[in-house]
Amino acid sequence: MSKLTGWLLLTLAVILPQASQAAPLSVAFGEVDITPEVKAGKPVFLAGYGYNRRATGVHDPIMARAVLLDDGQQRIAIVGVDLIGLAFPDVERIREKLPNVDYTLVASSHSHEGPDVIGIWGPNPFTRGVNDDYVTMVVDKVSEMVASLEKELKPATIKFGTAEDAKLLRDSRLPVVYDPTLRALRFQSPDSGVDLGMLVQWNCHPEAMGPKNTLLTGDFPATTVAELQKKYHCPIVYISGAVGGLLAPPRGLFHDAQGNELKEGDFAYCEAYGRAVAQLAESAIDAATPLTATPFRVVAKPVLIPVENPLYRLARKVGIVKRPVFQLTDDFETFGRQATEEFRPEDAGVKSEVAVVALGELRIACIPGEIYPELVYGDFQIPADPNADFSESPREPSAAALLADKKWMLFGLANDEVGYIIPKSQWDSKAPYAYDREDRQYGEINSCGPEVAPIVMEALRRRVVEMDGAGKE
């Protein structure tokens, strides 16, 4: 028995460390220029703000940047694009072109200084602003770039870090709630420690250039990326997080050498803010600690987002927005018949997706729109303003509570743009208005409806439960 026991202990000593050892991580970074051509007779309509804002030139290129990750079993691509919001059907087209990638995540920065890829910022309210050939070019270039990275994969280690600075944010809607945390991933060579690339997630509308600018630009993230590349000599992928609410660059914080305030709409202001975000990112990167990033797991499922917004309904009816809609059912994960010319259900919604990606011990919540930071941290106004339309509605589960015992990141506009995701208890589209205002606050006009937040956060809860269950198998 003693010999048998000794043999068993020796066998376990050899096997168990191998079984618990994380699989090796490999990564590759890439980028591609997706700037549309600006020429006479072929207008490029800029997304965000109002109608008929036509590009007159290019200040800096519109880019797509990506990291491809491999754990020996699965490949995950994370792509950041300098766009207002690439729609889910176009993300699906990219995925179809990448059969060797198990999951492709495309997150838009939500830049207000890039081309319209949705349709609602054309020359007038009744004309589509999208050049469909341009969107096809984006799909093709992004998929080709990601595919090319499969030959560039290199072993890597990963570190995760955070840094906070609420002074870098302004909330233009009551109640004032921020997500002031910048989150960063640092990928390094396991042999030399050389930086291979980084991923930075920050929570602010890229709208430092404002509504009067007519030059194509990535807005402040272009400067953030350039500054970080200059310091760390490696590729940078930029991702937006919780930008709803409405989080924007601050005022009164930056001045020129003569002491004059730099303001929205000037590239000096845009670049000053981009540098400030880069400095915050440096704090997160330099303080980052090692992370076990394998194995990978992905739990993603389509959801049906009801479209109640009458303007959105009209936009689809007249062909300004072109994406399929489906009849609503009793559950947002069950789709009814797709609408056609002959079949036009009164209650319909768009197909989107909510996902959770696990890179080892890190969780990434993938949210398909502009989520309010209240839904990230659960910082709801309690009680809600009594004049809000649904002030007594239950509070949605927060991302932080759902992911409480994990290291986590949150990607907004991940795989889709369904507009603002507003806590239902704050929804306020009917008089009398909250906070004794004479008119409603901005937000609801660019949201699909009051049920979006309950659906998205319940979908996230389900994905987390599925993820935790998969991890116990």
Q: What is the pLDDT of residues 152-194, one digit of tens each?
A: 999 999 999 999 999 999 999 999 999 999 999 999 999 999 9
pLDDT for 334:
97
pLDDT for 2:
47
| Range in 50-54, 440-444, 469-473 the model is least confident about | 469-473
Average pLDDT of span 198-212: 98
The fraction of the chain above a pLDDT of 90, given in percent, is: 91
Q: What angle do CA 104, 106, 112 make, to 5 degrees?
A: 175
pLDDT for 23:
82
pLDDT in tens, 297-314: 999 999 999 999 999 999
pLDDT in tens, 354-409: 999 999 999 999 999 999 999 999 999 999 999 999 999 999 999 999 998 889 99
Among 340, 152, 321, 182, which Cα is nearest to 247's? 182
Burial 285-309 (b: 16+ CB within 10 A, else e): beebeebebbbbbbbbebbbbbbbb
Cα 64 from chain centroid? 13
pLDDT band at 13 (very low <50, low <70, confident <90, very high): very low
pLDDT band at 470 (very low <50, low <70, confident <90, very high): low
pLDDT for 22:
66
Average pLDDT of span 38-50: 94
pLDDT in tens, 279-295: 999 999 999 999 999 99
pLDDT band at 10 (very low <50, low <70, confident <90, very high): very low
The average confidence (pLDDT) of the chain is 94
Average pLDDT of span 449-457: 98
Average pLDDT of span 441-469: 96
Does the pLDDT at position 3 exceed 90? Answer: no
pLDDT band at 21 (very low <50, low <70, confident <90, very high): low
Does the pLDDT at position 88 exceed 70? Answer: yes
List, in order, residues 6 or more apart from 13 with CB less than 8 Å away: none
Surface-to-core class of residue 310, CB atoms within 10 Å of its CB (0-12 exposed, 13-18 middle, 19+ buried): exposed
Structure tokens at 295: 């194995």
The fraction of the chain above a pLDDT of 70, given in percent, is: 95
pLDDT for 404:
87
Average pLDDT of span 5-29: 57
- pTM of the predicted model over 0.85: yes
Half-sphere exposure of 142 (CA within 13 A, CB side): 35
- Residue 114 backbone phi and psi in degrees, to 5: -115, 180
pLDDT for 472:
47
pLDDT for 40:
87
Does the pLDDT at position 244 exceed 50? Answer: yes
Kindly report the number of other CB atoms within 10 A of residue 208's CB atom: 30
